Structure 1
Amino acid sequence: MWCIMLYFLFRAQYACFRGGMLSLVWNSLLAIRD
């Protein structure tokens, strides 16, 4: 049971981290294009 919860927690954190990095790259690309 614990491993499943840890797995979902890790997946959620990874998705958040990946989304943050994507938005950061997107914002920098938009700033460069301006």
Structure 2
Amino acid sequence: SPYGDGWIVKMTLTNPEQVSNLMDAAAYKVEIGE
């Protein structure tokens, strides 16, 4: 869990403009219906 022990993800973006489409925790909870 990123909120417990934590974890790191390294990504290489092919289109850096897509970062603006990423969701924060609140938006993700809405997306999955929590």
TM-score (norm 2): 0.29
TM-score (norm 1): 0.29
The higher-RCO structure (CA 8 Å, 6+ apart) is: 2
